[in-house]
Structure 1
């Protein structure tokens, strides 16, 4: 849990992902199209990936990946990110991190 929280608060927009996950890719592309370069942590390529996945579940992420953090706070997975985007609430959250 400590590693996940440290990595999540390291940069403004952080995505915990798996390299073979199409939804992780879609969320990453969404952020890039909104002018944000998120930091991605591929948990399937991390030796502590299983522990990280469990920690993400304990933090309340329904699907273990993608797990999106903005400003060190868990936003959620694909459904939560897309809901925020469709309601117009995502862009203001990303404003400080746009390039």
Structure 2
């Protein structure tokens, strides 16, 4: 709801499924725009940047993508909050994907951001986890947000 208010009502947050424990450890959300809303490129860039800066973990995803499901499951298994922006459920999904390509150098999904930084796709994210580097990035963000 804070994102919806922060964007002046431009974003409509649809909650497909939400779980929260006492400390809010697991949180899944899909983010979609009303079907009648078309965004200028600047507005779309601003919205993407806002989503990334407002959340410790953001996964730009598609609902039918195996690798996207793999990335989401990784964070669920670690009991870490994430925000999933489902591009195939978003009127501006193709535009977002074009912008993400410019930002990250790749158009494929998932595009995973942790603590405001692009960490890669599912395989890159899995590798960071196996190397013991992913959870510290998440914790840095959580500590920063609490202070």
Place the TM-score, normalised by the shorter chain, in its bin. Answer: 0.7 to 0.9
Does the Cα contact within 8 Å between 1:3 and 1:52 map onto a contact in 2?
Answer: no
TM-score scaled by length of structure 2 = 0.61
Structure 2, unaligned runs of 5 or more = 1-44, 143-147
Name the structure 2 match of 1:27: 71
**Aligned-residue offset at 1:25:** 0.6
Structure 1, unaligned runs of 5 or more = none
Does the Cα contact within 8 Å between 1:61 and 1:77 map onto a contact in 2?
Answer: no
TM-score scaled by length of structure 1 = 0.87
- Partners in 2 of 1:12 and 1:60 — Cα distance? 17
**Aligned-residue offset at 1:64:** 2.6
- Partners in 2 of 1:72 and 1:97 — Cα distance? 9
Name the structure 1 match of 2:100: 56
In our comparison, the structure showing a higher alpha carbon Rg is 2
Is 2:115 aligned against 1:71?
A: yes
> Does 1 or 2 have the higher relative contact order (CA < 8 Å, sep 6+)?
1
Name the structure 2 match of 1:12: 56
- Structure 1 runs (4+) deviating above 3 angstroms are none
The structure with the largest helix share of the pair is 1
**Aligned-residue offset at 1:37:** 2.1
Q: Compared with structure 1, are the counterparts of its residues 87 and 63 closer, same or farther at alpha carbon in structure 2 (3 Å cutoff)?
A: farther
**Aligned-residue offset at 1:45:** 0.8
Tell me the C-alpha RMSD between the 2 structures: 1.7
